Amino acid sequence: MGRISKVELQEYVQLGDDANCYFCDKPAVMWDLTPNQAASPMLLASYEGAKVRVKCCDFCWRKIYTANVAKGGVGYGVPRGMMTLDQKQHLLGTKAAAESVAQVRHPYTISKDPKMVMPQNMLVMDDAKFLWNQHILYTDELMYLQGAMSIRMLGLPNSLVERALLSGLNAGELEETRISIYREMLELTEANDAQTSV
């Protein structure tokens, strides 16, 4: 991890104590931050969860750094530096492993024909039509939802999913009368409705 100032460190809530590794109780030597400062400035700025810091032993810190930063979080389906604390616990095999595996799962899949991200419970009716929760959607519609669905699949903040949805609406390829269907598919809450209508 690069140098981080005391002011930046204070933005993160500390979990655990300074003496022992948060993950394995060995003597602690290094801070681990969630999200990590190696994440892109855009992701750090849009991060909506609690920023937390924990003290780690050298072994745990190196293992987390390798998966989260050096390998870019790919094993956990997140961008570089954006592994959650639960995912880190899963990586290290700690007591929260079962819960973290459940959180990594998401209700989306990548279909092969046509190649696109789509909800797992979507049925293919023919080459151009799909059925989802008793709604018929068309390939063109789904193609303009790919950005928003990919962002949701990665577990990124609602604000980024909202922006991608608005981009599809602004392109004129998505029907504004069907926005409630799109929002339900993207798991956007009613609390975010005001942001979409702006």
Nearest-angstrom CA–CA distance, 20 and 114 = 50
Tokens for 62, please give them.
């190196």
**Are 11 and 99 in the same domain?**
yes
Same domain, 90 and 156: no
What are the tokens at 36? Answer: 């990590």
Check whether residue 90 and residue 10 sit in a common domain. yes
pLDDT given at position 106 = 56
Residue 9 — very low, low, confident or very high, per pLDDT cuts 50/70/90?
Answer: confident
Quick: pLDDT tens for 153-192.
887 888 899 999 998 888 887 888 999 999 999 988 654 4
In a domain, 184, yes or no: yes
DSSP one-letter code for 109: E
Same domain, 117 and 191: yes
Judged by DSSP in three states, 53 sits in strand
pLDDT value, residue 101: 45
3-state SS assignment for residue 35: coil
Domain assignment of residue 1, yes or no: no
Q: How confident is the model at residue 113 (pLDDT cuts 50, 70, 90)?
A: low
Task: For residue 95, name the pLDDT band (cuts at 50, 70, 90).
Answer: low
Strand partners, 117: 110
d(CA 161, CA 166): 9
Is 25 a member of any domain? yes
**Cross-strand partners of 192:** none
Answer yes or no: do 84 and 114 share one domain.
Answer: no
Mean pLDDT of the chain: 82
Residues 95 and 12 in one domain: yes
Give phi and psi for 85, each to the nearest 5.
-60, -40
Confidence band for 78, pLDDT divided at 50, 70 and 90 = confident
Note the pTM of the prediction, 2 decimals.
0.50
Facing residues of 128 across strands? none
